[in-house]
Structure 1
Amino acid sequence: MTSTANPALSADELRAEIVRTRAALGATVEALAAKADVKARMKDATGELADRTKARALAAADITKARAVAAVRDPRLRGPVPLAVLGVAAAGVAALIVFGLRARR
Protein backbone atom coordinates (compact mmCIF):
# COMPACT_ATOMS: atom_id res chain seq x y z
CA MET A 1 0.00 0.00 0.00
CA THR A 2 1.47 3.33 -0.99
CA SER A 3 1.10 6.40 1.12
CA THR A 4 0.62 9.89 -0.21
CA ALA A 5 1.13 11.40 3.23
CA ASN A 6 3.65 14.13 3.71
CA PRO A 7 6.71 12.69 5.50
CA ALA A 8 7.10 15.97 7.37
CA LEU A 9 3.85 15.43 9.31
CA SER A 10 4.21 15.13 13.06
CA ALA A 11 2.96 12.13 15.00
CA ASP A 12 -0.05 14.08 16.30
CA GLU A 13 -0.99 15.13 12.77
CA LEU A 14 -0.72 11.52 11.59
CA ARG A 15 -2.93 10.34 14.47
CA ALA A 16 -5.52 12.99 13.60
CA GLU A 17 -5.44 11.93 9.94
CA ILE A 18 -5.90 8.29 10.97
CA VAL A 19 -8.92 9.24 13.09
CA ARG A 20 -10.47 11.16 10.15
CA THR A 21 -9.79 8.28 7.79
CA ARG A 22 -11.36 5.76 10.17
CA ALA A 23 -14.45 7.94 10.56
CA ALA A 24 -14.82 8.27 6.79
CA LEU A 25 -14.29 4.53 6.32
CA GLY A 26 -16.90 3.78 9.00
CA ALA A 27 -19.45 6.00 7.28
CA THR A 28 -18.72 4.32 3.95
CA VAL A 29 -19.15 0.85 5.44
CA GLU A 30 -22.47 1.86 7.03
CA ALA A 31 -23.72 3.24 3.72
CA LEU A 32 -22.72 0.07 1.87
CA ALA A 33 -24.35 -2.12 4.52
CA ALA A 34 -27.60 -0.16 4.20
CA LYS A 35 -27.54 -0.55 0.41
CA ALA A 36 -26.84 -4.25 0.70
CA ASP A 37 -29.79 -4.85 3.05
CA VAL A 38 -32.31 -5.51 0.29
CA LYS A 39 -34.93 -6.95 2.63
CA ALA A 40 -35.06 -3.78 4.74
CA ARG A 41 -35.11 -1.57 1.65
CA MET A 42 -38.02 -3.54 0.16
CA LYS A 43 -39.90 -3.39 3.46
CA ASP A 44 -39.48 0.39 3.55
CA ALA A 45 -40.58 0.74 -0.07
CA THR A 46 -43.61 -1.48 0.53
CA GLY A 47 -44.62 0.54 3.57
CA GLU A 48 -44.33 3.79 1.64
CA LEU A 49 -46.39 2.39 -1.23
CA ALA A 50 -49.06 1.15 1.17
CA ASP A 51 -49.24 4.57 2.82
CA ARG A 52 -49.61 6.33 -0.55
CA THR A 53 -52.28 3.82 -1.64
CA LYS A 54 -54.25 4.32 1.57
CA ALA A 55 -54.04 8.09 1.24
CA ARG A 56 -55.29 7.96 -2.36
CA ALA A 57 -58.11 5.58 -1.48
CA LEU A 58 -59.21 7.75 1.42
CA ALA A 59 -59.10 10.85 -0.76
CA ALA A 60 -61.20 9.10 -3.42
CA ALA A 61 -63.66 7.99 -0.74
CA ASP A 62 -63.95 11.55 0.56
CA ILE A 63 -64.59 12.88 -2.94
CA THR A 64 -67.19 10.19 -3.60
CA LYS A 65 -68.89 10.89 -0.29
CA ALA A 66 -69.00 14.63 -1.01
CA ARG A 67 -70.45 14.00 -4.45
CA ALA A 68 -73.03 11.62 -3.03
CA VAL A 69 -74.13 14.17 -0.45
CA ALA A 70 -74.34 16.83 -3.15
CA ALA A 71 -76.35 14.51 -5.38
CA VAL A 72 -78.83 13.74 -2.64
CA ARG A 73 -79.29 17.42 -1.90
CA ASP A 74 -79.56 18.52 -5.55
CA PRO A 75 -83.10 17.95 -6.83
CA ARG A 76 -81.90 17.77 -10.45
CA LEU A 77 -79.76 14.75 -9.64
CA ARG A 78 -82.42 12.75 -7.85
CA GLY A 79 -83.57 9.62 -9.52
CA PRO A 80 -82.40 6.08 -10.15
CA VAL A 81 -79.64 6.77 -12.70
CA PRO A 82 -77.52 9.28 -10.73
CA LEU A 83 -77.84 7.21 -7.57
CA ALA A 84 -76.83 4.07 -9.46
CA VAL A 85 -73.77 5.86 -10.80
CA LEU A 86 -72.87 6.97 -7.29
CA GLY A 87 -73.37 3.43 -6.03
CA VAL A 88 -71.03 2.05 -8.67
CA ALA A 89 -68.46 4.73 -7.83
CA ALA A 90 -68.68 3.92 -4.12
CA ALA A 91 -68.30 0.20 -4.87
CA GLY A 92 -65.26 0.96 -7.02
CA VAL A 93 -63.63 2.93 -4.21
CA ALA A 94 -64.38 0.13 -1.76
CA ALA A 95 -62.88 -2.41 -4.16
CA LEU A 96 -59.73 -0.30 -4.53
CA ILE A 97 -59.34 -0.16 -0.77
CA VAL A 98 -59.90 -3.90 -0.28
CA PHE A 99 -57.65 -5.00 -3.13
CA GLY A 100 -55.01 -2.46 -2.16
CA LEU A 101 -54.89 -3.84 1.36
CA ARG A 102 -54.77 -7.44 0.13
CA ALA A 103 -51.97 -6.71 -2.31
CA ARG A 104 -49.89 -5.34 0.56
CA ARG A 105 -49.88 -8.67 2.39
Structure 2
Amino acid sequence: MTMEDVRKNDGSSQDLDALRAEIERTRAELGDTVQALAAKADVKARAKEQVEQAKANLALRVQDAKETVSQRAHEAADVVSVRAHEVSVRAHDAGEAVRRNPVPAAAIAAATAAALVLALWLIRRRR
Protein backbone atom coordinates (compact mmCIF):
# COMPACT_ATOMS: atom_id res chain seq x y z
CA MET A 1 0.00 0.00 0.00
CA THR A 2 1.48 3.33 -1.07
CA MET A 3 0.86 6.80 0.23
CA GLU A 4 -1.33 7.56 -2.79
CA ASP A 5 -3.48 4.51 -2.08
CA VAL A 6 -4.02 5.79 1.42
CA ARG A 7 -4.97 9.23 0.11
CA LYS A 8 -7.37 7.74 -2.45
CA ASN A 9 -9.09 5.72 0.21
CA ASP A 10 -9.53 8.92 2.12
CA GLY A 11 -7.65 7.50 5.09
CA SER A 12 -7.60 9.27 8.36
CA SER A 13 -4.52 10.91 9.75
CA GLN A 14 -4.22 8.04 12.23
CA ASP A 15 -3.90 5.57 9.35
CA LEU A 16 -1.20 7.77 7.82
CA ASP A 17 0.66 8.01 11.11
CA ALA A 18 0.43 4.24 11.61
CA LEU A 19 1.70 3.65 8.08
CA ARG A 20 4.59 6.06 8.60
CA ALA A 21 5.48 4.38 11.90
CA GLU A 22 5.42 0.97 10.20
CA ILE A 23 7.69 2.29 7.45
CA GLU A 24 10.15 3.63 10.04
CA ARG A 25 10.18 0.29 11.89
CA THR A 26 10.75 -1.55 8.65
CA ARG A 27 13.60 0.79 7.72
CA ALA A 28 15.21 0.29 11.14
CA GLU A 29 14.91 -3.51 10.87
CA LEU A 30 16.28 -3.40 7.34
CA GLY A 31 19.22 -1.24 8.53
CA ASP A 32 19.98 -3.73 11.32
CA THR A 33 19.81 -6.64 8.88
CA VAL A 34 22.13 -4.88 6.42
CA GLN A 35 24.62 -4.15 9.22
CA ALA A 36 24.53 -7.78 10.39
CA LEU A 37 25.09 -9.05 6.86
CA ALA A 38 27.92 -6.56 6.31
CA ALA A 39 29.59 -7.71 9.54
CA LYS A 40 29.36 -11.35 8.45
CA ALA A 41 30.70 -10.52 5.02
CA ASP A 42 33.71 -8.63 6.44
CA VAL A 43 36.08 -11.60 6.54
CA LYS A 44 39.11 -9.52 7.55
CA ALA A 45 37.32 -8.08 10.58
CA ARG A 46 35.99 -11.50 11.60
CA ALA A 47 39.47 -13.03 11.29
CA LYS A 48 40.90 -10.20 13.39
CA GLU A 49 38.23 -10.80 16.04
CA GLN A 50 39.09 -14.51 16.11
CA VAL A 51 42.80 -13.72 16.47
CA GLU A 52 42.09 -11.32 19.32
CA GLN A 53 39.88 -13.92 21.00
CA ALA A 54 42.61 -16.55 20.60
CA LYS A 55 45.16 -14.15 22.10
CA ALA A 56 42.88 -13.49 25.07
CA ASN A 57 42.32 -17.22 25.61
CA LEU A 58 46.06 -17.89 25.40
CA ALA A 59 46.82 -15.12 27.87
CA LEU A 60 44.31 -16.62 30.31
CA ARG A 61 45.87 -20.07 29.91
CA VAL A 62 49.36 -18.67 30.46
CA GLN A 63 48.20 -16.86 33.59
CA ASP A 64 46.53 -20.02 34.89
CA ALA A 65 49.71 -22.02 34.20
CA LYS A 66 51.83 -19.44 36.03
CA GLU A 67 49.54 -19.56 39.03
CA THR A 68 49.55 -23.37 39.04
CA VAL A 69 53.35 -23.54 38.82
CA SER A 70 53.72 -20.96 41.56
CA GLN A 71 51.28 -22.78 43.80
CA ARG A 72 52.98 -26.14 43.26
CA ALA A 73 56.40 -24.60 43.86
CA HIS A 74 55.19 -23.24 47.20
CA GLU A 75 53.72 -26.63 48.08
CA ALA A 76 57.00 -28.36 47.16
CA ALA A 77 58.97 -25.86 49.24
CA ASP A 78 56.69 -26.55 52.19
CA VAL A 79 57.19 -30.31 51.80
CA VAL A 80 60.98 -29.88 51.56
CA SER A 81 60.94 -27.71 54.67
CA VAL A 82 58.96 -30.29 56.62
CA ARG A 83 61.22 -33.14 55.43
CA ALA A 84 64.37 -31.15 56.27
CA HIS A 85 63.03 -30.55 59.75
CA GLU A 86 62.28 -34.27 60.15
CA VAL A 87 65.82 -35.19 59.03
CA SER A 88 67.26 -32.61 61.39
CA VAL A 89 65.28 -34.04 64.30
CA ARG A 90 66.33 -37.60 63.43
CA ALA A 91 69.99 -36.59 63.12
CA HIS A 92 69.79 -34.83 66.47
CA ASP A 93 68.15 -37.88 68.02
CA ALA A 94 70.83 -40.17 66.54
CA GLY A 95 73.55 -37.89 67.88
CA GLU A 96 71.94 -37.96 71.29
CA ALA A 97 71.73 -41.77 71.17
CA VAL A 98 75.44 -42.01 70.33
CA ARG A 99 76.32 -39.61 73.15
CA ARG A 100 74.29 -41.62 75.64
CA ASN A 101 75.75 -44.97 74.52
CA PRO A 102 78.88 -44.53 72.39
CA VAL A 103 80.02 -48.19 72.46
CA PRO A 104 77.75 -49.52 69.64
CA ALA A 105 78.56 -46.54 67.43
CA ALA A 106 82.29 -46.97 68.06
CA ALA A 107 82.03 -50.69 67.30
CA ILE A 108 80.24 -49.99 64.02
CA ALA A 109 82.82 -47.34 63.08
CA ALA A 110 85.70 -49.70 63.94
CA ALA A 111 84.16 -52.53 61.93
CA THR A 112 83.62 -50.24 58.94
CA ALA A 113 87.21 -48.99 59.13
CA ALA A 114 88.52 -52.57 59.38
CA ALA A 115 86.45 -53.61 56.36
CA LEU A 116 87.85 -50.70 54.32
CA VAL A 117 91.43 -51.51 55.32
CA LEU A 118 90.93 -55.18 54.45
CA ALA A 119 89.37 -54.28 51.09
CA LEU A 120 92.27 -51.97 50.21
CA TRP A 121 94.83 -54.61 51.28
CA LEU A 122 93.12 -57.25 49.07
CA ILE A 123 92.98 -54.91 46.09
CA ARG A 124 96.71 -54.07 46.38
CA ARG A 125 97.62 -57.69 46.85
CA ARG A 126 95.91 -58.74 43.58
CA ARG A 127 98.02 -56.32 41.56
TM range (shorter): 0.5 to 0.7
Please name the residue that 2:24 is paired with. 19
1:36 pairs with 41, 44, 57, which one? 41
Of 68-77 and 23-32, the range deviating more from structure 2: 68-77
After superposing on structure 2, the runs of 4+ consecutive aligned residues of structure 1 that deviate more than 4 Å are 6-9
CA apart distance, 1:77: 7.2
Structure of higher CA gyration radius = 2
CA apart distance, 1:71: 1.3
Structure-1 separation of matches of 2:62 and 2:42: 31
Aligned length: 74
Structure-2 separation of matches of 1:23 and 1:44: 26
Unaligned stretches of 5+ residues in structure 2: 85-127
Change (3 A) 1:11 1:46: same
Please name the residue that 1:56 is paired with. 61
Of 44-53 and 11-20, the range deviating more from structure 2: 11-20
Structure-2 separation of matches of 1:60 and 1:51: 14
Which structure has more relative contact order (CA 8 Å, sep 6+)? It is 1
CA apart distance, 1:40: 1.0
Q: TM-score, normalised by structure 2?
A: 0.49
Unaligned stretches of 5+ residues in structure 1: 79-105
